[in-house]
A and B are shown apart, each in its own frame.
Chain A
Amino acid sequence: MQETIPFTTHIPPAAPAGDGGATVDVKKLVVENSIIVVGKRGCCMCHVVKRLLLGLGVNPTVFEVDEPEEGHVAEQLSSLVDDGGEVQFPAVFVGGKLFGGLERVMATHISGELVPILKDAGALWL
């Protein structure tokens, strides 16, 4: 059972890539969280996704990627996607699967489909 977190969970910045051993395992984060937003640090689009989700009562985990890590993280995330396609930031994962970017989030929100999807994944509680 997932514990309720009162505030958005921010993952501390990854250590500079050197040995790679100290970097946060983003794949693990995706699998462990019902909803996670992965975006570039300071990205305003990521901020939009965050605000929208917060407004709905969701407490998304947010992983902000520093520029040097971008390529590495993108690669890792691609490996999680079935067709191995390129993952663009910001990327939203729901229930361990790639949901999409801001556009998809907006579209499903407007069509009324987003809230049920979030509830199904356990990211939103009534």
Chain B
Amino acid sequence: MNSSSTQFVTSGGMGMYDHMHQLSMWGESFKSNGSPHPLSSMLLPNTSPSLIITADMKLDNQSEDTSGTPGPLNKYDQEVTKSSEKIQRRLAQNREAARKSRLRKKGLYVASGVEASHVGFNGAVNSGIATFEAEYGHWLEEQQKHVSDLRAAVTSNISDGEMRVLVEASLNHYYELFRMKGAAAKADVFYVMSGLWKSSAERFFLWIGGFRPSELIKILRPKIEPLAEPQLQGICNLGQLCQQAEDALSQGMDRLQQTLAQSVADGQLGEASYSPQIDTAMEKLDGVVRFVRQADHLRKAALVQVSQILTPRQAARGLLVLGEYFERLRALSQVWATNTREPE
């Protein structure tokens, strides 16, 4: 376990190790040694990169002082791991800052929990999440292009064939996001479940790490009317089918949450990080990953059906409505975040 642990910390898909380490550090934080804990600054959603560095450094000092640190790493491994982590962190932060400044210039960047979310309690960078956030930045830029293309197309006279190409491109872009989320879920499923990459208004509507298909269909329908009878029927029926599938998934998710809560209450994530019960807890977390995957699968299936039920022009109109809807949510978040209100 020791020899491979350094590798684990710097790679993205380390699953169990990362969880164990973070959890054992979390457990450690509750054994207060009296000094003010730097964790509080780590939890601020809009912490700038420079503040993160400060918090990290404090944590590093603290853990160096602590003797008998729990977790599978020995002292030597910790040193080696920390310095490569620091380098990775600096590089990641530089990329982040550059990306954000590009997005800000385009009016695309919305302050969210993004800055601190891929830096864990112990200062270790979850590279799987860092990768996802960088990719999501690009995804948003691309999405803007797709929405513009759709907007131009619906008011034009292009052929159905050409329209279909645009619709497919837009759909594939969504499918790409689902693929990205799948990888991110393996890196940190709670991150995905909490929708941390999304703007705050988008997160308000979160259902198992993403949008609720039946809800979107309800929003979509009045905007793409008038529809011929079979299509109207098809869309309404699809909405109902989605609702049924969502209900089933929600019930399963509720059950999983209960068993997970029970695991935590039973002290399976405590100081004894070598406890075999950790395996059960990890298995349950894998269950959460599967739920995210099933929910995304449902989203994809719903989008596929929408494109099959509607004509290319109607589908383009529908995807435009969807794209604009999410854009408005993001804009709303930004306005809300920057709005200073006078006390009443």
Contact = CB atoms under 8 A, between A and B. Distances in A.
Closest 8 CB pairs of A and B: A48-B252, A52-B248, A51-B248, A110-B301, A44-B256, A44-B252, A47-B252, A51-B251
Interface of A: 42, 44-45, 47-49, 51-52, 55-56, 102-103, 106-107, 109-112
B19 interface: no
Most buried by B among A49, A51, A112: A51
B244 A56 contact: yes
Interface string B275-313: 000000000000100110010011001100100000000
Given A51-B247, A51-B248, A112-B237, A103 B297 contact: yes
Nearest to A115: B241
B255 A44 contact: yes
A106 B255 contact: no
Contact of A110 (B238, B252, B290, B291): B238
B252 A109 contact: no
A47 B290 CA distance: 13
A110 B294 contact: no
B245 interface: yes
12 contacts: A44-B255, A44-B259, A45-B290, A45-B294, A48-B252, A48-B294, A51-B252, A52-B248, A109-B241, A109-B245, A112-B237, A112-B238
A107 B256 CA distance: 22
Given A48-B248, A51-B252, A42 B301 contact: no
Contacts, number: 59
A76 B242 CA distance: 34
Contacts of B297: 103, 106-107
B249 interface: yes
Contacts of B73: none
B301 A111 contact: yes
Contacts of B249: 48
Nearest to A51: B248
A110 B302 contact: yes
B248 A45 contact: no
Contacts of B248: 48-49, 51-52, 55
A103 B294 contact: yes
Given A48-B252, A51-B252, A106 B245 contact: yes
Contacts of B256: 44
Contact of A47 (B237, B247, B255): B255
Interface string B222-247: 00000000000000011001101101
B294 to A, nearest CB: 6
Contacts of B302: 110
B253 interface: yes
Most buried by B among A45, A48, A51: A48
Contacts of A102: 294
B247 A55 contact: yes
Interface in B30-62: none
Contacts of A106: 245, 294, 297-298, 301
A109 B247 CA distance: 13
Contacts of A55: 244, 247-248
B318 to A, nearest CB: 16
A102 B242 CA distance: 14
Contacts of B237: 112
A51 B297 CA distance: 18
A110 B298 contact: yes
B123 to A, nearest CB: 33
A1 to B, nearest CB: 28
Nearest to B252: A48
A51 B238 CA distance: 18
B243 to A, nearest CB: 10
A48 B251 contact: yes
Contact of B242 (A42, A48, A103, A110): A110
Nearest to B238: A110
A44 B253 contact: yes
Given A55-B248, A106-B297, A109-B241, 18 more contacts: A44-B253, A44-B256, A44-B259, A45-B287, A47-B252, A48-B248, A51-B247, A51-B251, A51-B252, A52-B245, A52-B247, A55-B244, A56-B244, A103-B297, A106-B301, A110-B245, A111-B301, A112-B237
